[in-house]
Structure 1
Amino acid sequence: MQDVEKEMMLIANAGEARSKAMEAIQAAKFKEVDRARTLLAEARVSSRTAHKIQTSLLQQEASGNKYEVSVLLIHAQDHLMNAITVIDLAETIVDLFEAS
């Protein structure tokens, strides 16, 4: 996989993870806790896929292959960090809706 392709896949998977987490919050808001939990599980799968891509980029650089930092890579990293944060928050919000 080419570097740009990796970056685009990182963006796509991180974006999918964030979207699923946001859907989970909406489902919990409407007392659809089982659906919310399913969406969170799907979000974690997409997040793990994105993280594996990120790890491959890190390993590439750690092995001595210089990796050019581009705006696209920065954007991809931003998407992944946001996805992880939203998933963490969504899990807590779903728990709160479930307990209420």
Structure 2
Amino acid sequence: MLIFVNLFRVHGGAGDFERCFAETSEFMMNKDGYLRHRLVKVNDGEPRYLNIAEWTDEDSLRAAVADPRFESHARALSERASSESLLCEVVQEYEA
């Protein structure tokens, strides 16, 4: 399993960013290899969000973002926020 993390620094309104992210989410949820994701807001007073997504593998994620239809979603997000991305793997996991 691949964990994909984006840190978004929002330039404008949070509501506008969240709406745009929801539209992008609808697109990504139908892609092969997509498992789940969460958008979480950082609670430090800065307009920042983390997208934490789980994919079956890196090739599936790369195929999803290579889809020409993704370009309009990426552009819309970049107009509202800057972002940094990380590809991660689970090394330990715990549940109550």
TM-score by length of 2: 0.29
Greater helix proportion = 1
Larger Rg: 1
TM-score by length of 1: 0.28
